[in-house]
Amino acid sequence: MKNNFFIVGALILLAGVFNRVNAREVISFNSDWEFKKGPFPKDAMQAAVKWCTDWQEVTLPHTWNAEDMQKKVSAFYEGMGYYRKIYVFPENMKDKRLFLRFEGVGSCTEVYINGYLVGTHKGAYSAFVCEIGSQVKFGEENEVIVKADNTARPDVIPTNHILFGVYGGIYRPVWLVVTELCSIVANDCASSGVYITQKDVSKQYAEVTVKVKMDNATLTPVPLVLENAICDGSGKLVKKHSQAFELTPQGVQTYSSQFKLSNPHLWQGREDPYLYKVVSRLVQDGRVLDEIIQPLGLRKYEVVAGKGFFLNGKKYPMYGVTRHQDWWELGSALTNKEHDFDLAQIMDIGATTVRFAHYQQSDYIYSRCDTLGLVIWAEIPFVNRVTGQEWENAHQQMRELIRQSFNHPSIYVWGIHNEVYHPHGYTAALTQSVHDLCKLEDPDRYTISVNGYGNVDHPVNQNADIQGMNRYFGWYEKKMQDIKPWVEKMEKEYPWQRLMLTEYGADANIAHQTEILRDALNWMSPFYPETFQTKTHEYQWSVIAQHPYITASYLWNMFDFAVPTSKRGSVDARNMKGMMTFDRKIKKDSYFWYKANWSKEPVLYMTQRRNMLREKKETSVTVYSNIGTPKVYLNGRELSGIRKGYTDVHYVFEKVLLNDGRNVLRAVVIRQGKEYMDEMEWEYRGECSRESDFLEYEKEHGSW
């Protein structure tokens, strides 16, 4: 299978400009692997050459933690695993350069070809490249060995498995990249080798610079031509620039092309995610030696303190969710099918922006955000703890993230750290240093760091362009209503600050239900009712929506995910703050709350359908409707007593008297001649308290 590097889907024929070429080959390297999991004796051979038995056949992506990180607290394997592949490199590759490009390996890696070490990497989430040609035997069988190790270590971020698990293995695809001796660089932090910058972007004008890094693996200068072209979404040439030069073999050489565009078609988020293409070609005597195609979305981002987020000069709603990449029983070993599913749910809920937390995610998913119009935040896994030994690795992972993701128009900010504190002086210095690195690598994007204490004056704050704060009012702190005085105080005392609410919410175990709710819940309790999560989001979103001082907000989380070191809400190894369950099968009530508030699609939804066994005879019925005022019928009788809730889509029917036994509820809205309906059933058997029953059972039996 051959694909053009860094391009999603098939290559578009650029009619009248370029013919389709295959100068660079990118070949899938994901099949016919064998795997062996440790632990291994300390004197095990590095390349595992002598291990002839007990290999398991696998296809990449693969992780050895797909189950054990998700089902029992602290019972997962962290350590070494070996992958082996026998491959015959054909004779016609002899005069080429060969690279293996790994999109993600958890988390420290050594790569061997025929027993020789050809590359190492530290970090589970960024791509890396190993040049292998000098160790290959062409026309013969070659042994490729990859050693992966996901043991937490103090010099590699994240330094532990506390907030999320680092899945071990080659969990993203691997590619064999074949280039000519003169080529656009393949090993510049595993980037495309092409860097596109833009300035003075407006509806009238835009300036674009295309910088291309090239190298020459021969021993003499070679006369070449670099062609850079901008093509529109249909493949039609907009502008082209060519330059001739001699490419010397003395290190990487960089050449740039400048373009001035009149009346450009702008990338306007979900409304109009228009993409140009930049085609960079290296040509010798009319023959194309190499070609890279990158997306170009012309846009201007602005975060204005106290006013909000602006895209191309227009105020833009930042309806934000966060996403962890792992799936139930798959871990992080995902295909594009799983990525597409997650993005479809994010689009369906009406989100306009995504925080991809807490680490670099698949380049494929960033590319899809370019085409979908999602404004996104990309970050490195500098989270939770510092050791004093991660300085170099934090810089390495940020440099890799920026270079690999540089051309994605959807990315507006680089995330530096999340809830990292002691020692304060070291953390602040490291954050500032990584911020400086971001500005050196990419001066045109924002940076952000995140503090979980909500204290502007905390010593680890104010070292990035944007200050993020995680606040879980009613869950980890105070009452859910305390979000309002907090933001009002921030508005008054720190009007100059660019502030984002970067996490908020509450856990929800869909098996736990109650209609008897307070304004705070002890998260240390084993009882995590879905109804409390719903109540939290109903109130807190209404406050966020009224305060443009919060320039963007990101609910935590779009999906439940694995936390292998803790038990929460009577479930091992799980964070249940998601709007959807870990297996992606059930959308919680909170999902429909946000969809009704954010989406343009029609929503009519009654909450508490899983809270079927009612605790009170006199209760209330809540309906979300963005298509007009609903009528609700209980056992065929229309209810009265309706009132508006926190937002315009929120309707509450109070003092509803249930019948003993089964009760059928039906909500109806007729809009433009079309009837929309939602229906559910409740049962009433007498007054009770399900939380007290639950806690008593827990006390007696140890689990629910």
pLDDT one-digit tens code per residue, 297-317? 999 999 999 999 999 999 999
Task: Please say whether the beta carbons of 190 and 173 come within 8 A.
Answer: no
pLDDT at 492: 96
Q: For the segment 455-493, what is each residue's pLDDT rounded down to a tens digit? A: 899 999 999 999 999 999 999 999 999 999 999 999 999
Rounded Cα distance between 468 and 303, Å, is 13
Angle between helices 483-493 and 530-545 (to 10 degrees): 30
Residues above pLDDT 70, as percent of the chain: 93
Please, what's the b/e burial string for 477-516 (b: 16 or more CB within 10 A of its CB; e: otherwise)?
ebebebbbebbeebbeebeebbbbbbbbbbbbbbebbbbe
Using 50, 70 and 90 to split pLDDT, how confident is the model at 22? low
The per-residue DSSP string of 132-144 comes to: -GGG--TTSEEEE
Residues 6+ apart with CB under 8 A from 45: 51
In the DSSP assignment, the letter for residue 659 is P
pLDDT at 689: 74
Residue at token pair 């809270």: 611
Q: Does residue 15 carry a pLDDT above 50? A: no
Give, for 595, the enclosing helix (H) or strand (E).
helix 589-598
Mean pLDDT, the chain, rounded, equals 94
Q: Which residues are catalytic?
A: 419
Rounded Cα distance between 622 and 384, Å, is 38
pLDDT at 40: 83
Task: Quickly list H helices, 442-515.
Answer: 483-493
Task: Please say whether the beta carbons of 480 and 532 come within 8 A.
Answer: no
Q: Does residue 3 carry a pLDDT above 50? A: no
What would the two tokens of residue 660 be?
């003993």
pLDDT at 439: 98
More confident residue, 601 or 43: 601
Residue 557 preceded by cis peptide, ω within 30: yes
Angle at Cα 536 formed by Cα 531 and Cα 540, nearest 5°? 155
Task: Please say whether the beta carbons of 201 and 415 come within 8 A.
Answer: no
Rounded Cα distance between 381 and 165, Å, is 11
Q: For the segment 591-643, what is each residue's pLDDT rounded down to a tens digit? A: 999 999 999 999 999 999 999 999 999 999 999 999 999 999 999 999 999 99
Mean pLDDT on 146-168: 97
pLDDT at 53: 74
Q: Does residue 87 carry a pLDDT above 70? A: yes
Q: For the segment 92-137, what is each residue's pLDDT rounded down to a tens digit? A: 999 999 999 999 999 999 999 999 999 999 999 999 999 999 999 9
Q: Please provide residue 196's backbone torsions phi and psi, each rounded to the nearest 5 degrees.
A: -110, 125
pLDDT at 522: 85
Using 50, 70 and 90 to split pLDDT, how confident is the model at 2? very low
Mean pLDDT on 663-683: 97
Q: Does residue 696 carry a pLDDT above 90? A: no
pLDDT at 13: 36
CB atoms inside a 10 Å sphere around CB 52: 7
Residue at token pair 């597409």: 340
Q: Does residue 7 carry a pLDDT above 50? A: no
Rounded Cα distance between 479 and 475, Å, is 8
Task: Please say whether the beta carbons of 195 and 406 come within 8 A.
Answer: yes
Q: Does residue 355 carry a pLDDT above 60? A: yes
What would the two tokens of residue 199 be?
């300035």
CB atoms inside a 10 Å sphere around CB 233: 11
- Report pTM: 0.94
Amino acid present at 537 = H
pLDDT at 687: 85
Mean pLDDT on 62-79: 96
Task: Please say whether the beta carbons of 660 and 704 come within 8 A.
Answer: no
pLDDT at 593: 99
Rounded Cα distance between 150 and 107, Å, is 5
